[in-house]
Amino acid sequence: MEAEVLFYIYSFPVSKPLLFTWIIMAVVSLTCFFLTRNLQKVPRGAQHILEMSVDGIEKLVVTNMGPEGKKFVPLILTIAVYVGISNLIGIVPGAYSPTENLTTTLTLALIVFVVGHVAAIIKKGFWTWFKGFFEPYFFMFPINIAGEISQVISHAFRLYGNIFGGGILLGIIYMLAPYVLPTPLMGWFGIFSGIIQTAVFTLLAVIYIQIKIS
């Protein structure tokens, strides 16, 4: 579905997904600024939660990729934070989840795809990377290319479909029983499902990069 254009900056269209992406970027930037102004050697409170989150992503990446995967931690952490907030912001009245738009999820999937292949070229060399598309036999080239394309599509559609579908279902149920079911469904689809989809998308990003550099 084409994203709704809210306004224009000169001739540049600003759609709902783009506007709320900017809002999320501003919130994350300000939050990081305030949380890192006075870092302590012994973390407490918000700093402790922040460090636990970073450590958790680092363990996830290193467990799957090994020590060389540490250079991907900033990317994976950024994806996890952005996708997580994008999934959850939809429960705020009047807000919009950027991940309800296929363009957003496809862009994220393409970033993972490009980073994985660039990292593979750097690690293996161009010719070794290129020959990988013809393995185990040369006639497998079209199938390997199709596999790469389907990987991007499935990565993008998995997140988009779950968030978009959950939002539609919640809206339908709310119209049918607005005073009985919206609160528990809001918790299920808006929070629990959002967290699960964030974890799945992030883990798949790690695995897809790991496959390419292995």
CB 62 within 8 A of CB 74: no
Angle made by CA atoms 148, 154, 156, in degrees to the nearest 5 = 105
Specify the pTM: 0.87
Q: Tell how far CA 113 is from the center of its chain.
A: 12
The residue segments making up the domain with residue 208 are 5-213
Give pLDDT tens digits for 194-213: 889 999 999 999 999 999 99
Strands (E), 47-135: none
Whether the predicted pLDDT of 170 surpasses 70: no
Contacts of 148 (CB under 8 A, 6+ apart): 113
Give pLDDT tens digits for 58-104: 999 999 888 888 899 999 999 999 999 999 887 777 788 899 899 99
Cα–Cα distance list, 185 to 79, 84, 110, 172, 191 (Å): 26, 18, 32, 11, 9
What does the DSSP assignment read for 34-68?
Answer: HHTTT--SS--HHHHHHHHHHHHHHHHHHHHH-GG
- Range in 6-15, 131-140, 163-172 with the lowest mean pLDDT: 163-172
Cα–Cα distance list, 114 to 62, 176, 184, 192 (Å): 20, 44, 39, 30
Whether the predicted pLDDT of 172 surpasses 90: no
d(CA 59, CA 193): 23
Residue with tokens 């540490």: 70
Q: Domain total for the chain?
A: 1
High-pLDDT (> 70) share of the chain, %: 88
- Considering 44-58, 120-134, 179-193, the range whose residues carry the highest mean pLDDT is 120-134
Q: What pLDDT is stored for residue 79 in this prediction?
A: 94
